[in-house]
């Protein structure tokens, strides 16, 4: 039986790759930098499947060039790089990887909160550089217990963070566009965005990047936070105005920031944020454990193979796509 033609914009995990290769003839971009757009368009001319990554824009222009495309699958839960409406208009289902990364990403978001509050990375530098001479000069942190955590974007990952926070004795408030029906079970209080900014000692944002959320944390929002506030972004860099965050940290308008995501990514070594003493940055590692990345790769492969076979995708973002008649 003829194999499907598939493009991968990055290598994926070996076990998932093996499954894809059983059914597909693959073209894989293996370099560290993103695949050049012209090459991707060339490869997509006769491709039936695209296994994409967040650094590739899947838009009208790309889809118009990919006449044979049946499915786009991506190994991430966020899909701000994908024009979902354009996919739907062309009858192309798009699958992401929700669920399988929830606990792992919540661990990282909470680790950033704890790491920043107790200045773990500074303490490590302090010990390594031989400054530990007495108990007088150690870096001091702040308590979590009894403080208020504001979660912006209380979805799957936000709820998993809330569970961790509860165990540490934090009071939880949250903001979504819609109040959750289960917030009493979570022991979380729904508030409007302004109240969350003003009341929180720690803010964790896990809101998907969209036209609505782009830049939702800017100068005005930082000005409303407490001077003692810790701001943690584990969602996407572009929901924050980076210059405004830099100014807020430099002027001590807020106390601290911990970021797993930045704008841009990767962050250049001379980025002004790196000169600040009150910041902790990790390189977009929310889901980066061996187990979780493997699970994500398998789920993305499931979506890809289902779409190639004109079957419903296990986790489809646009399930209303109309398949060609008689295809299913
Ligand atoms: N750092 C990393 O490595 C990772 C980052 N992520 C990021 O985390 C995001 C969240 O993932 P996940 O929890 O699975 O997603 P979910 O869809 O489960 O949750 C998103 C939540 O955000 C709320 N929301 C959406 N838009 C807005 C808005 N404009 N203002 C306020 N609230 C909003 C939604 O509620 P409502 O619709 O009612 O507003 C929903 O509760 C992903 O989109 C991704 O960008 C995910 C995994 C790893
Ligand atoms: O950033 C990671 C994701 O899965 O989204």
CATH at 310: 3.40.50.720
Dmax (CA) for the chain in angstroms is: 76
Residue 323: band (very low, low, confident or very high) from pLDDT cuts 50, 70, 90: low
Query: Cα dist. 17→14, 109, 176, 261 in Å?
Result: 5, 29, 37, 27
**Percent of residues, the chain, with pLDDT higher than 70:** 98
- Report if residue 268 sits inside a domain: yes
265 shares its domain with 191? yes
Q: Count of domains in the chain? A: 2
Q: What is the mean pLDDT of residues 157-167?
A: 98
**Catalytic residue numbers?**
236, 265, 284
Q: What is the pLDDT of residue 196?
A: 99
Q: What is the pLDDT of residue 309?
A: 97
Beta bridge partners of 150: 173, 203
Q: State which residues form the domain around 58.
A: 4-99+290-321
86 shares its domain with 108? no
52 φ, ψ (degrees, to nearest 5): -100, 170
189 shares its domain with 235? yes
Q: What is the mean pLDDT of residues 139-157?
A: 98
Residue 147 DSSP one-character state: -
225 shares its domain with 301? no
Q: DSSP alpha helices (H): ranges in 147-250? A: 156-167, 193-199, 219-224, 242-250
Distance 260 CA to ligand 2 centre (A): 11
Q: What is the pLDDT of residue 326?
A: 44
pLDDT, tens digit, 9 for 90 and up, residues 52-78 = 999 999 999 999 999 999 999 999 999
Q: What is the position in ligand 2's atom list of the atom closest to the CA of 101?
A: 4
- Report if residue 221 sits inside a domain: yes
77 shares its domain with 193? no
Q: What is the pLDDT of residue 136?
A: 79
106 shares its domain with 250? yes
Is the confidence at residue 327, as pLDDT, over 70?
no
Q: What is the mean pLDDT of residues 214-225?
A: 98
- In 7-22, which positions are buried (b, 16+ CB within 10 angstroms) versus exposed (e)? bbbbebbeebbebbee
Distance 271 CA to ligand 2 centre (A): 23
Q: What is the mean pLDDT of residues 19-35?
A: 97
133 shares its domain with 265? yes
- Report if residue 94 sits inside a domain: yes
Phi/psi-derived region of residue 77, left when phi > 0, alpha when psi is between -120 and 50, beta in every other case: alpha
Q: What is the mean pLDDT of residues 147-153?
A: 99
Is the confidence at residue 322, as pLDDT, over 60?
no
75 shares its domain with 158? no
- Report if residue 160 sits inside a domain: yes
112 shares its domain with 196? yes
Measured distance CA(63)–CA(254) in Å, rounded: 44
Q: What is the mean pLDDT of residues 259-278?
A: 97
**To the nearest whole number, what is the mean pLDDT of the chain?**
96
Q: Whose CA is nearest to atom 5 of ligand 2?
A: 78
- Report if residue 60 sits inside a domain: yes
40 shares its domain with 106? no
């Amino acid at each position: 039986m003829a194999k499907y033609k598939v493009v991968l914009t990055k290598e994926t995990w070996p076990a998932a790759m093996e499954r894809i290769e059983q059914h597909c003839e693959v073209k894989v971009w293996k370099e560290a930098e993103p695949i050049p757009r012209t090459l991707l368009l060339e490869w997509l001319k006769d491709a039936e499947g695209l296994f994409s990554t967040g650094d590739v824009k899947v838009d009208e222009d790309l889809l118009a060039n990919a006449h044979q495309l049946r499915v786009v699958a991506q190994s991430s839960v966020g899909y701000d790089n994908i024009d979902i409406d354009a996919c739907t208009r062309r009858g192309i289902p798009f699958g992401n990887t929700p669920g399988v990364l929830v606990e792992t990403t919540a661990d990282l978001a909470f680790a950033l909160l704890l790491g920043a509050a107790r200045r773990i990375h500074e303490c490590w530098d302090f010990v390594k550089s031989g400054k530990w001479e007495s108990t007088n000069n150690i870096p001091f942190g702040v308590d979590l217990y009894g403080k208020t955590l504001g979660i912006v974007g209380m979805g799957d990952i936000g709820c998993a963070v809330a569970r961790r926070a509860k165990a540490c004795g934090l009071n939880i408030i949250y903001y979504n566009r819609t109040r959750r029906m289960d917030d009493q079970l979570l022991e979380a209080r729904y508030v409007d965005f302004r109240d969350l900014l003003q009341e929180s000692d720690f803010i964790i944002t896990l809101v998907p990047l969209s036209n609505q959320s782009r830049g939702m944390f800017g100068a005005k929002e930082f000005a409303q936070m407490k001077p003692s506030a810790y701001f943690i972004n584990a969602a996407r860099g572009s929901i924050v105005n980076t210059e405004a965050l830099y100014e807020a940290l430099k002027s001590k308008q807020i106390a601290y920031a911990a970021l797993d995501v930045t704008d841009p990514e990767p962050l250049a070594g001379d980025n002004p944020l790196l000169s600040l003493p009150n910041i902790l940055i990790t390189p977009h590692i929310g889901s980066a454990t061996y187990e979780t990345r493997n699970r994500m790769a398998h789920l993305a492969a499931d979506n890809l193979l289902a779409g190639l076979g004109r079957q419903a995708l296990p986790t489809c973002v646009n399930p209303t796509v109309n398949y060609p008649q008689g295809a299913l």
